């Protein structure tokens, strides 16, 4: 076991703050690419089942229309991405980005119980996922990463370790 730990140290995986930076960069990439897809017709079409069944985002279509809802989400995701990038230098902006990411993933996770045909009946239903549901399950981990980053930013701003 000690040799494994030494190997991890040589690879740089035990450096102070590496986890924080990896999570921040990972969330930046997620928001950058997911925000990008919202600008195109195919991205707007992919969002229909999620927006239509989201208890916190159902209002987007009546408010902004089909393409407007997708663009609203794209702008929101890019704003969060920019705040997360800025967080490397300004922890208060990083805190806002982490808060935005947390709210985003809470909003998407709450879609899970309302997504039609999400649990495969032929396999006994829950927990056999089907349809669009497996796509949303990644957001459970992304929520945890967002909360971790939110916590780290809050500690940094408050002066606690």
Burial class (CB in 10 A: 0-12, 13-18, 19+), 71: middle
Answer whether residue 66 shows pLDDT above 70. yes
What average pLDDT does range 78-99 have in this prediction?
A: 97
What's the pTM value of the predicted model, to 2 decimals? Answer: 0.86
- How many whole angstroms separate alpha carbon 49 and alpha carbon 131? 10
| Secondary structure of the chain as H, E, C letters | CHHHHHHHHHCCCCCCCHHHHHHHHHHHHHHHHHHHHCCCHHHHHHHHHHHHHCCCCCCHHHHHHHHHHHHHHHHHHHHHHHHHHHCCCCHHHHHHHHHHHHHHHHHHHCCHHHCCCCECHHHCCCCCECCCHHHHHHHHHHHHHHHHHHHHHHHHHHCCC
- How many whole angstroms separate alpha carbon 90 and alpha carbon 71? 27
Q: Residues with Cβ < 8 Å from 49, sequence gap 6 or more?
A: 115, 116, 131, 132
For the segment 102-158, what is each residue's pLDDT rounded down to a tens digit? 999 999 999 888 877 777 677 666 666 667 777 888 999 999 999 999 999 999 998
Mean pLDDT for the chain overall: 88
Question: Using alpha carbons only, what angle is made at residue 49 by residues 132 and 66, rounded to the nearest 5 degrees?
Answer: 145
Indicate the angle between helix axes 91-109 and 133-158, nearest 10 degrees: 150
- Predicted confidence at residue 83, as pLDDT, reads 98
For the segment 7-26, what is each residue's pLDDT rounded down to a tens digit? 767 767 667 878 899 999 99
What average pLDDT does range 91-110 have in this prediction?
A: 96
């Amino acid at each position: 076991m000690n040799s494994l730990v030494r190997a991890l140290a040589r690879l740089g995986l035990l450096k102070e703050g590496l986890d924080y930076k990896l999570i921040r960069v990972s969330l930046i990439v997620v928001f950058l690419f997911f925000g990008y897809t919202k600008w195109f017709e195919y991205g707007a079409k992919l969002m229909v089942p999620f927006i239509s069944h989201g208890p916190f985002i159902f209002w987007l279509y009546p408010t902004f229309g089909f393409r407007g809802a997708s663009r609203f989400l794209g702008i929101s995701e890019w704003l969060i991405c920019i705040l997360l990038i800025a967080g490397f230098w300004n922890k208060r902006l990083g805190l806002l980005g982490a808060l935005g990411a947390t709210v985003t993933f809470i909003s998407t996770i709450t879609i899970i119980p309302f997504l039609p045909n999400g649990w495969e009946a032929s396999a006994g239903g829950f927990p056999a996922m089907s349809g669009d549901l497996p796509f949303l399950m990644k957001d459970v981990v992304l929520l945890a990463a967002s909360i971790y980053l939110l916590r780290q930013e809050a500690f940094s701003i408050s002066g606690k370790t």
